[in-house]
Structure 1
């Protein structure tokens, strides 16, 4: 990537790492009630979502099995958007789904781009 004054690869790595860690934090909240308790009991759908958030978030952040993990995370975010937000209004700013919609498209981008630098997969190539 030649944009950002030659720091495109580093900027992409930061996007992958930070978005993976933030996604992981959603799973941590669901299962460990940290840093604040999750506001409702976990039903099977929330349990599945939390598992994907924990596993895929960690894998994306470290850059291991990045493409499949990001693809699954993107799909989960799309399903989550339509199940929890999209039925309230079509517009994310109205239905509160901006964050999960953004996760969906960030992870779709990561699934197409791969791990990049600063990743476990990137160290295997050397």
Structure 2
């Protein structure tokens, strides 16, 4: 699609921002019960996951220390898949883990590519 060639930086920035905000929403859900109550008991693992989702999600959305934040978010997503979903079946579509797999690979891509435009990192140099 030739007409979109000039917008690859913009669409990548939108991917980074939206993925970061949606990931952050998981942490907000765990810690603040917003927009609906969190129905699981808060174990130390869930507290840690919520903190990573909240902080790394915000950093990715802002484009602040994007590579390390995205790498940590990718690793946490991989661990979450195997701890919460992979133990109930191999295929993500069958065990409900497709979202966390998608987060894992989106954040791995962001960690490899960096913040791009519309980011604090690009302003810092």
Q: Normalised by the size of structure 2, how large is the TM-score?
A: 0.96
Counterpart residue number, 2:122:
122
Aligned to 2:27: 27
Supply the distance in 1 between the matched residues of 2:57 and 2:84 (Cα, whole angstroms): 20
Q: Which runs of 5+ in 1 are unaligned?
A: none
1:60 counterpart residue number: 60
Label 1:34 to 1:113 Cα distance change in 2 as closer, same or farther (>3 A). Answer: same
Aligned to 1:7: 7
C-alpha deviations, 1:88-125, integer Å up to 9, x for none? 11100000000000000000000000000000011123
Distance in 2 (CA, whole Å) between partners of 1:104 and 1:98 is 10
| CA root-mean-square deviation | 1.2
Report how far residue 5 of structure 1 moved.
2.5
- Normalised by the size of structure 1, how large is the TM-score? 0.95
Counterparts of 1:83-94 in structure 2, within 5 Å, are 83-94=83-94
Unaligned runs of 5+ in 2: none
- Moved beyond 2 Å, runs of 4+: 2-5
Query: In structure 1, what is the equivalent of residue 70 of structure 2?
Result: 70
Q: Which residue of 2 aligns with 1:47?
A: 47
Describe the shift of the 1:78–1:119 C-alpha distance in structure 2 as closer, same or farther (beyond 3 A).
same
SS at 1:99's partner residue? Answer: helix
